[in-house]
Amino acid sequence: SDLQKQEERGELLQPLIFVSLVLCSILLYFKVSLMDPGFVKPEEEEGEGKGQGVVIPQVAGDIKLQRCGYCLVKQPMRAKHCQLCQHCVRRYDHHCPWLENCVGERNHPLFIVYLSVQLVVLLWGGHVAWSGLYFEQSWEWLQHNIFLLVSFLLIFIFTIVVLLLLLSHLYLISCNTTTWEFMSHHRISYLRHSELENPFDQGIILNLQRFFC
Protein backbone atom coordinates (compact mmCIF):
# COMPACT_ATOMS: atom_id res chain seq x y z
CA SER A 1 0.00 0.00 0.00
CA ASP A 2 0.98 3.67 -0.25
CA LEU A 3 1.45 3.86 3.52
CA GLN A 4 3.91 0.96 3.48
CA LYS A 5 5.84 2.51 0.57
CA GLN A 6 6.07 5.83 2.44
CA GLU A 7 7.28 3.98 5.52
CA GLU A 8 9.95 2.17 3.51
CA ARG A 9 11.16 5.47 2.06
CA GLY A 10 11.30 6.99 5.54
CA GLU A 11 8.68 9.63 4.72
CA LEU A 12 6.68 8.89 7.87
CA LEU A 13 9.59 9.38 10.25
CA GLN A 14 9.55 13.18 10.27
CA PRO A 15 5.76 13.49 10.88
CA LEU A 16 6.03 10.94 13.71
CA ILE A 17 8.90 12.87 15.32
CA PHE A 18 6.96 16.14 14.98
CA VAL A 19 3.82 14.65 16.55
CA SER A 20 5.96 13.15 19.34
CA LEU A 21 7.47 16.57 20.05
CA VAL A 22 4.01 18.17 20.14
CA LEU A 23 2.76 15.51 22.58
CA CYS A 24 5.92 15.94 24.67
CA SER A 25 5.32 19.70 24.76
CA ILE A 26 1.72 19.20 25.91
CA LEU A 27 2.76 16.74 28.64
CA LEU A 28 5.49 19.09 29.85
CA TYR A 29 3.00 21.95 29.95
CA PHE A 30 0.63 20.04 32.23
CA LYS A 31 3.51 18.69 34.32
CA VAL A 32 4.99 22.15 34.96
CA SER A 33 1.60 23.80 35.51
CA LEU A 34 0.24 21.16 37.91
CA MET A 35 3.32 20.29 39.97
CA ASP A 36 4.38 21.85 43.25
CA PRO A 37 6.88 24.61 42.34
CA GLY A 38 8.43 24.46 45.81
CA PHE A 39 5.79 25.67 48.24
CA VAL A 40 7.08 26.34 51.76
CA LYS A 41 5.03 24.24 54.18
CA PRO A 42 4.50 25.05 57.88
CA GLU A 43 5.66 21.57 58.97
CA GLU A 44 9.07 22.26 57.40
CA GLU A 45 9.81 25.13 59.79
CA GLU A 46 11.49 22.98 62.44
CA GLY A 47 15.21 23.21 61.88
CA GLU A 48 14.74 25.50 58.88
CA GLY A 49 16.53 28.39 60.50
CA LYS A 50 19.48 26.41 61.86
CA GLY A 51 22.65 27.39 60.11
CA GLN A 52 20.85 29.88 57.88
CA GLY A 53 21.53 33.04 59.86
CA VAL A 54 24.31 33.73 57.35
CA VAL A 55 23.90 31.77 54.14
CA ILE A 56 26.07 34.08 52.07
CA PRO A 57 29.52 34.99 53.38
CA GLN A 58 29.51 38.26 51.40
CA VAL A 59 26.41 39.57 53.22
CA ALA A 60 27.13 42.14 55.89
CA GLY A 61 25.62 41.00 59.21
CA ASP A 62 23.13 38.28 59.97
CA ILE A 63 20.15 38.03 57.65
CA LYS A 64 17.43 36.55 59.83
CA LEU A 65 14.69 34.43 58.37
CA GLN A 66 11.49 36.43 58.15
CA ARG A 67 7.97 35.22 58.78
CA CYS A 68 5.64 35.75 55.83
CA GLY A 69 2.94 38.31 56.55
CA TYR A 70 0.43 36.38 54.43
CA CYS A 71 0.79 32.65 55.12
CA LEU A 72 2.79 33.10 58.39
CA VAL A 73 5.54 30.58 57.55
CA LYS A 74 9.26 31.27 57.94
CA GLN A 75 10.63 32.17 54.54
CA PRO A 76 13.90 30.48 53.52
CA MET A 77 16.37 32.71 51.72
CA ARG A 78 15.36 33.35 48.06
CA ALA A 79 11.73 32.44 48.82
CA LYS A 80 8.87 34.83 48.08
CA HIS A 81 5.13 34.84 48.70
CA CYS A 82 2.96 34.64 45.58
CA GLN A 83 -0.40 36.31 46.14
CA LEU A 84 -1.93 34.48 43.17
CA CYS A 85 -0.94 31.02 44.43
CA GLN A 86 -1.30 32.14 48.08
CA HIS A 87 1.91 30.31 49.04
CA CYS A 88 5.55 31.11 49.67
CA VAL A 89 7.70 29.54 46.93
CA ARG A 90 11.32 28.42 47.35
CA ARG A 91 13.77 30.05 44.94
CA TYR A 92 10.85 31.99 43.48
CA ASP A 93 11.39 33.05 39.86
CA HIS A 94 8.02 34.37 38.67
CA HIS A 95 4.33 33.54 38.39
CA CYS A 96 3.61 32.43 34.83
CA PRO A 97 0.09 33.44 33.61
CA TRP A 98 0.27 30.90 30.77
CA LEU A 99 0.86 28.05 33.23
CA GLU A 100 -1.32 29.54 35.99
CA ASN A 101 1.41 28.42 38.36
CA CYS A 102 4.61 29.74 39.90
CA VAL A 103 8.02 28.86 38.52
CA GLY A 104 10.21 27.99 41.48
CA GLU A 105 12.82 25.63 42.85
CA ARG A 106 11.15 22.36 41.83
CA ASN A 107 9.69 23.09 38.39
CA HIS A 108 12.13 25.68 37.02
CA PRO A 109 14.38 23.10 35.25
CA LEU A 110 11.32 21.45 33.67
CA PHE A 111 10.09 24.89 32.63
CA ILE A 112 13.35 25.39 30.69
CA VAL A 113 12.94 21.97 29.04
CA TYR A 114 9.34 22.88 28.14
CA LEU A 115 10.45 26.16 26.52
CA SER A 116 13.18 24.31 24.56
CA VAL A 117 10.77 21.68 23.20
CA GLN A 118 8.21 24.38 22.43
CA LEU A 119 10.82 26.35 20.49
CA VAL A 120 11.74 23.29 18.39
CA VAL A 121 8.03 22.66 17.62
CA LEU A 122 7.48 26.29 16.61
CA LEU A 123 10.58 26.40 14.38
CA TRP A 124 9.54 23.13 12.72
CA GLY A 125 5.95 24.32 12.27
CA GLY A 126 7.20 27.63 10.86
CA HIS A 127 9.37 25.80 8.36
CA VAL A 128 6.41 23.66 7.25
CA ALA A 129 4.15 26.71 6.88
CA TRP A 130 6.80 28.63 4.94
CA SER A 131 7.55 25.71 2.61
CA GLY A 132 3.85 25.54 1.71
CA LEU A 133 3.80 29.16 0.55
CA TYR A 134 4.48 30.26 -3.00
CA PHE A 135 4.15 33.97 -3.66
CA GLU A 136 2.12 35.58 -6.42
CA GLN A 137 0.80 39.14 -6.61
CA SER A 138 -2.87 38.37 -7.07
CA TRP A 139 -6.06 38.44 -5.01
CA GLU A 140 -6.76 34.81 -5.92
CA TRP A 141 -3.39 33.75 -4.49
CA LEU A 142 -4.14 35.57 -1.22
CA GLN A 143 -7.54 33.85 -0.92
CA HIS A 144 -5.98 30.41 -1.37
CA ASN A 145 -3.00 31.03 0.94
CA ILE A 146 -4.43 33.28 3.64
CA PHE A 147 -4.58 30.43 6.19
CA LEU A 148 -0.93 29.45 5.67
CA LEU A 149 0.14 33.11 5.73
CA VAL A 150 -1.68 33.85 9.01
CA SER A 151 -0.35 30.60 10.50
CA PHE A 152 3.21 31.52 9.59
CA LEU A 153 2.87 35.03 11.06
CA LEU A 154 1.43 33.68 14.33
CA ILE A 155 4.15 31.01 14.55
CA PHE A 156 6.81 33.66 13.87
CA ILE A 157 5.50 35.90 16.68
CA PHE A 158 5.29 33.03 19.18
CA THR A 159 8.77 31.83 18.15
CA ILE A 160 10.28 35.25 18.89
CA VAL A 161 8.52 35.38 22.28
CA VAL A 162 9.60 31.86 23.30
CA LEU A 163 13.16 32.40 22.03
CA LEU A 164 13.60 35.64 23.99
CA LEU A 165 12.07 34.05 27.09
CA LEU A 166 14.35 31.01 26.86
CA LEU A 167 17.48 33.09 26.27
CA SER A 168 16.69 35.42 29.17
CA HIS A 169 16.14 32.48 31.53
CA LEU A 170 19.33 30.75 30.42
CA TYR A 171 21.26 33.96 31.02
CA LEU A 172 19.81 34.35 34.53
CA ILE A 173 20.48 30.67 35.30
CA SER A 174 24.09 31.04 34.16
CA CYS A 175 24.40 33.90 36.67
CA ASN A 176 22.56 31.93 39.39
CA THR A 177 19.88 34.55 39.85
CA THR A 178 16.11 34.58 39.40
CA THR A 179 13.78 36.88 37.52
CA TRP A 180 12.45 38.21 40.82
CA GLU A 181 15.95 38.88 42.17
CA PHE A 182 17.01 40.50 38.90
CA MET A 183 13.99 42.81 38.77
CA SER A 184 13.80 43.62 42.51
CA HIS A 185 17.48 43.65 43.49
CA HIS A 186 17.17 46.95 45.37
CA ARG A 187 14.25 45.73 47.51
CA ILE A 188 15.66 42.35 48.65
CA SER A 189 17.51 42.56 51.97
CA TYR A 190 20.05 39.77 51.40
CA LEU A 191 21.04 41.32 48.06
CA ARG A 192 20.90 44.95 49.19
CA HIS A 193 23.34 44.27 52.06
CA SER A 194 25.66 42.07 50.03
CA GLU A 195 29.20 43.15 49.21
CA LEU A 196 28.78 41.65 45.73
CA GLU A 197 26.17 42.47 43.12
CA ASN A 198 25.27 38.77 42.92
CA PRO A 199 26.58 36.76 45.91
CA PHE A 200 25.13 33.48 44.55
CA ASP A 201 27.20 33.50 41.35
CA GLN A 202 29.78 30.67 41.37
CA GLY A 203 30.73 30.69 37.70
CA ILE A 204 28.74 29.68 34.64
CA ILE A 205 29.64 25.97 34.66
CA LEU A 206 28.90 25.41 38.35
CA ASN A 207 25.73 27.52 38.16
CA LEU A 208 24.37 25.44 35.27
CA GLN A 209 25.46 22.17 36.89
CA ARG A 210 23.72 22.97 40.17
CA PHE A 211 20.56 24.15 38.42
CA PHE A 212 20.05 21.20 36.09
CA CYS A 213 21.62 18.47 38.23
Helix, strand, coil distribution of the chain in percent, nearest 5: 55, 10, 40
CA distance 127 to 125: 5
CA distance 204 to 173: 8
Contacts of 36 (CB under 8 A, 6+ apart): 106, 107
Q: How far apart are the first and last CA of the chain?
A: 48
The DSSP symbol for 49 reads: S
The DSSP symbol for 65 reads: P
Q: Active site includes 88?
A: no
Contacts of 202 (CB under 8 A, 6+ apart): 176, 210
Given 88, 96, 102, 213, the catalytic residue? 96
Residues labelled catalytic: 96
